[in-house]
């Protein structure tokens, strides 16, 4: 979580701070009378709104001893402080002032917490903390806004989507925190204390999706409290490694390899991220077709590419799509590279050899070549298959275009 409030004069933007904003789930903006006098804070505010529009980051404005209307219209004491700052930048950067005004108006329009409405400041703090905790729970434990799972959710009494399990488990106490948020959401415990809950209510017929599982231990931790599931309930586990599902006790007949999205589904998803609810205008339709063609039906590619093009000009779109011919989109590549980083050295070398030279080669021929170079190729190839980095239809070695692009970029 990132907090934004007024700073002392002389402080400057820090690249590390801007990175922290980009990686946060929630930004809390504390507006005070002197907030508008800080160019540092206003630049930070611009970055927060960029992340809100691009990544769906949650923004919570707090108006501390200042009227939201004064922030919205840059009036009162807040407006005086802003006017002084505005005068300093009029010559240096005439467009900067208008960008700041737009940012202040957009943020204050969405409401928030107003200190003047609460007699006791400690009550205000408690209300803010509870709101943040609720939003964090909802961020991790809701069905995706675009109904990627909710197509079947209506068949169940309740449904939960627990995302980013791999990322959370890599943080100190991250998995335990996620487990507590899950228990709080599912069982209605306001302040859950896992292991000491006296009684759990039955969930009825529930759908629970655990997203991006990488280890059996993660599932053992997260489902320990779910002895009360109805027999009609369903647990779905998504993973990059098929072997994880076997270790979790999933029957092989219930393991399903995800297919690429259809062209219509791909356009629908991409357009939601690139244009919001309004959808594309006619002059963007050809550009959208090029972007969807690049993504090749991969959900993460459609989502990341669409988000990166949100509210961008046609010239920007042309530039981004042109650059994709030379190198993969960095956000898409970062997601795919997680699977590559999980390989050992020899497995990585086999993957890179395939991406550069052996895509489309027959399996037995690839093994002969690699074995002659000192690799135990059969074992390496099986790991790549289990991690869905390559496929072997009719014993022909192949991989997705985006994975091949990533491999060549690494080389």
> Rg of the Cα trace of the chain?
25
Strand-by-strand arrangement of the 58-63 sheet:
2-4, 26-31, 58-63, 113-114
Q: Coil, strand or helix: which one is 236? A: strand
Q: Which residues pair with 61 in a beta bridge?
A: 29
CA gap 143, 153 in Å, rounded: 8
Which two tokens mark 359? Answer: 């895509």
Whole-angstrom distance, CA of residue 13 vs CA of residue 18: 8
Give Cα 269 distance to the centre of its chain: 15
Query: Active-site residues: which are they?
Result: 44
Alpha-carbon gap, residue 55 to 325, rounded angstroms? 24
Count H helices, E strands: the chain?
19, 7
Relative to beta strand 206-210, strand 26-31 is unpaired
Instruction: Round to whole Å and give the CA distance between 104 and 108.
Output: 6
d(CA 192, CA 296): 43
CA 365 from chain centre, in angstroms, equals 40
The closest alpha carbon to 47, from 4, 109, 98, belongs to 4
């Amino acid at each position: 979580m990132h907090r934004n409030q007024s700073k002392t004069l002389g402080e400057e933007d820090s690249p590390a701070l801007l990175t922290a904003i980009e990686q946060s789930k929630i930004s809390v903006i504390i507006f005070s009378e002197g907030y508008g006098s800080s160019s540092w804070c206003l630049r930070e505010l611009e970055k927060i709104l960029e992340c809100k529009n691009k990544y769906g980051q949650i923004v919570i404005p707090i108006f501390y001893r200042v009227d939201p209307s004064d922030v919205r219209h840059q009036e009162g004491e807040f407006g005086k402080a802003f006017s002084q700052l505005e005068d300093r930048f009029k010559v240096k950067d005439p467009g900067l002032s208008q960008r700041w005004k737009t940012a202040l108006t957009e943020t204050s329009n969405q409401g928030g917490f107003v200190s003047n409405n609460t007699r006791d400041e400690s009550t205000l703090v408690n209300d803010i903390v509870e709101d943040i905790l609720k939003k964090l729970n909802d961020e991790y434990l809701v069905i995706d806004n675009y109904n990627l799972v909710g197509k079947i959710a209506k068949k169940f009494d309740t449904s939960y989507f627990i995302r980013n399990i791999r990322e959370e488990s890599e943080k100190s106490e991250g998995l335990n925190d996620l487990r507590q948020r899950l228990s709080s959401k599912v069982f209605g415990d306001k302040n859950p204390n896992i292991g000491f809950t006296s009684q759990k209510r039955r969930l009825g017929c529930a759908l629970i999706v655990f997203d991006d599982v990488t280890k059996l231990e993660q599932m053992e931790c997260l489902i320990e409290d779910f002895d009360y599931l109805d027999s009609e309930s369903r647990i779905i586990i998504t993973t990059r490694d098929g072997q994880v599902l076997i270790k979790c006790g999933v029957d092989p007949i219930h393991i399903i390899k995800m297919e690429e999205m259809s062209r219509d589904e791909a356009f629908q998803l991409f357009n939601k991220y690139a244009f919001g609810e309004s959808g594309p205008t006619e002059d963007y339709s050809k550009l959208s077709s090029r972007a969807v063609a690049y993504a090749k039906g991969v959900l993460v590619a459609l989502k990341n590419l669409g988000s990166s093009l949100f509210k961008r000009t046609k010239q920007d779109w042309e530039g981004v799509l042109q650059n994709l011919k030379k190198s993969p989109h960095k956000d898409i590549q970062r997601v795919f590279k997680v699977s590559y980083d999980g390989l050992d050295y020899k497995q990585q070398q086999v993957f890179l050899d395939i991406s550069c030279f052996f895509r489309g080669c027959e399996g037995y021929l690839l093994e002969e070549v690699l074995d002659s170079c000192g690799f135990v190729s059969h074992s390496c190839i099986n790991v790549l298959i289990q991690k869905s980095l390559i496929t072997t239809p009719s014993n022909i070695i192949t991989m997705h275009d985006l994975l091949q692009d990533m491999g060549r970029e690494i080389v």
